Structure 1
């Protein structure tokens, strides 16, 4: 046997051995991919930015995987998911956490895409506004219970991180002023000493506010001493686009220069009077009084002989009131001591479920679409509750 022939045989043998020892591809494995982009003009994406992938099945977190971005700002994982598994990716940039959406795996999918957008930061609050404020007022004996649900947005292209306190080194982003006689302050989720910082006339939030119509949500409640004709004043440190007030108190109504009656809502808590207000400028007070009264059912109705006419502003107002009623019902039901409050990290999904319920009851979505979306939202809420 010549040397050349022997060399060729050796090469073939080594090739076969290499093939034999190569790991076989995993059956059912699909790519989990994503692209990290910077939503701030002229912003950059660090190439060594770590990406963490979380996977969930039912109520359990099933995996945490880490990689770093490639030169084009993308990332890639290879996994073999099962139907119903949930995926989300997160990155931390300039001490702010950014996440992708939640994606539920379906059998027909050939890949899972989890895009993540990061932003540069700013200490300027000029673009911050409260998109919606929901006030839930109930009277029980000599006590007025007030629940406030604030949906806060950032109309800019930079994440607002607040200003650092020179003494504590902690940043705060949104200040909330409470009535002087407010007691029994309670938060839905992390409270004072955790997400929120106690201040002399109220408290402040430490959560960064990302660009978007609704970036953070704050849900809290407090109590006031009831007396006939009690006057309530709410002032917001940033502009408030709209305010919805629900009053559940038999024989009482609200009176105020800047509030508009919006009819009576039937909720699982019973009938409630609804009111709207806004927009309000930063620092502009919203003042209203609890006074004896009864629902004015005809305030929202046109005369019987009048032809039907569409009022877009009124329809939007009614939609906000319906959503507020759904959120209020969920809030007051969940805040029962037996069950505890809805955790803050699941609040946005609870709100989406409530809004979906409202759309289905109004006939705006089909039953098939409703059931599918509701199932997906519930799965995402469960995964969100387990997310670290």
Structure 2
């Protein structure tokens, strides 16, 4: 059986639809240019630098750096970001130890907060809190060192310094009566550079470490610096004075009581789990967690499980200066009645390649009842199934972002069923399915209908020179210019299952033709890296399915939160998702660069890119809601 390669444009169309049509525009590097008449950035003034309220957290700053800094400074801090060449001068290469040797963390913070307009660096204080800037600075600092170096410095410190300065750098060692400096005091440490510390060391104790090499001196001082920030390789979680008061509620009328049910609290930093706590609900459903980290970079979810279904709180985050949070977790009794199921939003996205249409369908399902729909029996299957997805009879290479056919998804004829439950609420279950529709000749048609009532349906079709399209069943919105490319869009509200949509295409490319979009010149006038490569007629595009594995981890956090009625703190949720989106875009761009210069093979590139695209598509879907 033939298999088809999904062209790169389908991904960018999907991403553009969900992030540009429905969201504010991405922050582009060109937006950082200083407007005419812009006041110059203020010179460094330590009085303008607020000391961090908690230890700056490098891991929490990773996504912030990727979103706001990597475009110029580079993903790994080498000063080689995609916009670096357009700047008046080279950006700081944080990966070079010499670049920060004479600069204190306070200076880096000041530059990040107030910008350097003359160098086209914007003042990030207009967009980020002081705590976020400190975390980004910690990550930037972290880029010129590593765990082995810091641990080696720790051994040198233990032998030469700890007797006076103490194991934690607080100046409380057994012989530290005369020590006045506290390396763990962020207000003190932020104001001193590595060079400043070395000068103080040599002036006060030239005999200590007299036989150390310059590299050993620097290594020891990197360990000292780690007293005042949390490196990316250490645990990002630090207990604090935070309190979470919550209530577990039974959301089904007449449902069982919740007293004694287990409640789990999980903490995440930069999309990675860092802490887990458990307790039980009281007789009135109340629960509490204490001694929690209040660092705003830590994201919490409280959850409880009933009949095998996990129910979650909204995203929980402390803001700076806050020590108490409150939340509610609702659980529901199960049902096999699907009368409350509807589609909140549906997106059909169609692109073409020689000999095939490539289709992505994105559905957000709702449940208006007060019970979790756990499935019903259908003829031909021996497991209960929940929502249905209709696919055309000719569909091949059917894949999903978070499951596989024969596993989570089951097929009977031309209907595919999900087996995952749909909990009460709006858009609590999402499904992303992709497939190819091969055709002969230069014309074909795509026909589809929804299995449920839908609040809205959007159809976007990527334009191809010479292709004509006729769509019935939806209202034309006209051409949409997205990222410099044109797409035709149709839509309808209040769609019913008997509303059939048909898209007829003529003038398509036959199998074996060359896609003119692949041969288009790049924006800088050079030839596109794929221009000389014939668009694959029979290449494997099944690596899309690899996204399912990743979605259980990195993006699965947000899929879970979405399905668990993430209806409060929407701004916080979207902020986290935008950070994740920016990081994924950077990773895809870097991967494309490596492929373009031949550093990774075609197969490896396709597999890694498909995995990242699957992650990004899911993030974009959640951002669009």
Residues 397 and 542 in structure 2, CA contact (< 8 A), matched pair in contact too? no
Query: Which residue, 182, 193, 197 being the options, matches 2:410?
Result: 197
1:134-185: CA deviations, max 9, x gaps?
0110111111100100111112222211114699753210122221111111
After superposing the two structures, state which structure 1 stretch, 372-381 or 232-241, moved more. Answer: 372-381
Instruction: Indicate the SS of the match to 1:186.
Output: strand
Compute the displacement of 1:378 (Å).
4.6
Compute the displacement of 1:46 (Å).
2.3
Compute the displacement of 1:380 (Å).
8.2
| Compared CA separation, residues 374 and 104, structure 1 to 2 (3 A) | same
Query: Which residue, 207, 231, 248 being the options, matches 2:462?
Result: 248
Q: Does 1:289 align with 2:508?
A: no
Query: Which residue, 260, 266, 289 being the options, matches 2:481?
Result: 266
Residues 132 and 240 in structure 1, CA contact (< 8 A), matched pair in contact too? yes
Report the counterpart of residue 512 of structure 2 in structure 1. none
**Between Structure 1 and Structure 2, which shows a larger proportion of helix residues?**
2
**Between Structure 1 and Structure 2, which shows a larger proportion of strand residues?**
1
> Take 1:187 and 1:374, find their aligned partners in 2: how far apart are those partners?
24
Q: How does 1:139-218 map to 2 (within 5 A)?
A: 139-164=352-377, 170-218=383-431
> Take 2:318 and 2:406, find their aligned partners in 1: how far apart are those partners?
38
> Take 1:254 and 1:215, find their aligned partners in 2: how far apart are those partners?
34
Q: Does 1:277 align with 2:492?
A: yes
Report the counterpart of residue 123 of structure 1 in structure 2. 336
| Compared CA separation, residues 176 and 213, structure 1 to 2 (3 A) | same
Q: Does 1:257 align with 2:472?
A: yes
Residues 197 and 203 in structure 1, CA contact (< 8 A), matched pair in contact too? yes
Report the counterpart of residue 69 of structure 1 in structure 2. 281
Report the counterpart of residue 310 of structure 2 in structure 1. 97
Residues 55 and 63 in structure 1, CA contact (< 8 A), matched pair in contact too? yes
In the alignment of these two chains, the number of paired residues is 299
Report the counterpart of residue 233 of structure 1 in structure 2. 447
Q: Does 1:46 align with 2:246?
A: no
Compute the displacement of 1:216 (Å).
0.8
| Compared CA separation, residues 259 and 284, structure 1 to 2 (3 A) | closer
Structure 1 length normalisation: TM-score? 0.68
> Take 1:169 and 1:52, find their aligned partners in 2: how far apart are those partners?
33
Report the counterpart of residue 267 of structure 2 in structure 1. 55
Residues 238 and 283 in structure 1, CA contact (< 8 A), matched pair in contact too? no
> Take 2:445 and 2:379, find their aligned partners in 1: how far apart are those partners?
37
Compute the displacement of 1:252 (Å).
2.8
> Take 2:412 and 2:494, find their aligned partners in 1: how far apart are those partners?
26
Runs (5+) with no aligned partner, structure 1: 1-25, 294-334, 353-368
After superposing the two structures, state which structure 1 stretch, 272-281 or 249-258, moved more. Answer: 249-258
Residues 357 and 437 in structure 2, CA contact (< 8 A), matched pair in contact too? yes
Residues 86 and 380 in structure 1, CA contact (< 8 A), matched pair in contact too? no
Residues 49 and 69 in structure 1, CA contact (< 8 A), matched pair in contact too? yes
Compute the displacement of 1:373 (Å).
7.1
> Take 1:81 and 1:120, find their aligned partners in 2: how far apart are those partners?
33
1:91-142: CA deviations, max 9, x gaps?
1112221111111222321212231111222211111111111011011111
Report the counterpart of residue 322 of structure 2 in structure 1. 109
> Take 1:57 and 1:176, find their aligned partners in 2: how far apart are those partners?
35
Residues 263 and 281 in structure 2, CA contact (< 8 A), matched pair in contact too? yes
| Compared CA separation, residues 166 and 142, structure 1 to 2 (3 A) | closer
Residues 469 and 504 in structure 2, CA contact (< 8 A), matched pair in contact too? yes
Instruction: Indicate the SS of the match to 2:577.
Output: helix
